[in-house]
Amino acid sequence: MQLADLNQRYAIPHHLQFVAGEGGLVMAEIANSHSTARIALQGAHLVTWQPCGQEPVVWVSKFAKYAAGKSIRGGVPICWPWFGAHATDSKLPGHGYARTVMWEVLESRELPDGATYIRFGLIETDATRAQWPHPCSVQIEFTIGKTLRVELVTRNIGTHAFTLGEALHTYFHISDVGQMTIRGLEGCDYMDKAGGASELRKQQDGIVIEREVDRVYLNTTADCVIEDRGLKRAIRIAKQGSHSTVVWNPWTEKADKMGDFGPQGHRGMVCVESANALENVLSVAPGATHHLAVVYSVEALN
């Protein structure tokens, strides 16, 4: 749909407009009395979210590349319908294809509390069907207000069950990685993937990051809280329909290799991903709908 048509159908005065953004990507630009956000229609990828009077909550690299068919480094990439490498075909893209294909706007609304609601649907093509031959409908809803709520909805409209892996791969802006502790995963088992390893370990205390961290915490539905002593705030991640949490920071060497973090860029970010991964992948029966919903909020840290 052309920009003018999108604006005619879905723009909301003083809430939502569609613009041609970086790299020519169409962006939904949301600004209401609570917060601002930008969402690329490619990947239904929320790139920024900033509550009024706060520093950004969501991190996006200044060096991020915005281009057709490429994933953006930062924001909330949608990993779907598998997480990490594909189970059987290494030629298929890591974390699935949802983050790099086009989505369409299905609905937009102003909510009574002044928040903005927008819903997108993934556009199926021959290329997506070739990678994922299961009839299904996938939609994502964003509620942008004092908090950010994201709900990824997968419905099996076929006649066979399928296995689903997924994540809201959220990058968070923090003052400095040395000023941060992640709470909520104490006592959980995790698969440690750092440096290409694959070892099962147990988390004892809050998570402090001093080197590459790439962990899939298993069988956890707990809230996570990122305590940021530098910004004197805590970011709460409250999730439903998710049984894994991924914590990732590539650290210096890997970030440099990726080329879209910028110098020391890894120090200002951490990913805490609400996921269903590894042994927590789901079987979605014919006719069934699976919801993965996350609310992000900011609290003062005393």
Q: Dihedrals φ, ψ of 6, to 5°? A: -60, -45
169 vs 233, which CB is nearer to ligand BG6? 169
User: Annotated catalytic, 273?
Assistant: yes
Which residue shows structure tokens 């080329």? 259
Q: Is 176 in contact with 268 (CB distance < 8 Å)? A: yes
Q: Which residues bind ligand BG6 (CB under 6 A)?
A: 71, 94-95, 169, 193, 214, 246, 248, 273
CA torsion 14→17→21→27, rounded to 10°? 120
81 prior amide bond cis, ω within 30: yes
Q: How far is the CB of 94 from ligand BG6 (least distance, A)?
A: 5
The active-site residue, picked from 45, 95, 134, 169, is 169
Q: Which is nearer to ligand BG6, 118 or 191 (CB)?
A: 191
Q: Which is nearer to ligand BG6, 30 or 216 (CB)?
A: 216
Residue in the shown chain whose Cβ atom is closest to ligand BG6 = 248
Q: Which is nearer to ligand BG6, 148 or 275 (CB)?
A: 275
Number of Cβ within 10 Å of residue 178's Cβ equals: 12
CB of 195 to ligand BG6, least distance (A): 11
151, 166, 273, 290: the active-site residue: 273
Q: How many CB atoms lie within 10 A of CB 8?
A: 11
Q: How far is the CB of 119 from ligand BG6 (least distance, A)?
A: 24
Give least dist CB 254 to ligand BG6, A.
Answer: 7
Nearer to ligand BG6, 94 or 287 (CB): 94
- Catalytic residue flag (residue 169): yes
Quote the least distance from Cβ 79 to ligand BG6, whole Å.
Answer: 7
Residues noted as catalytic:
169, 273
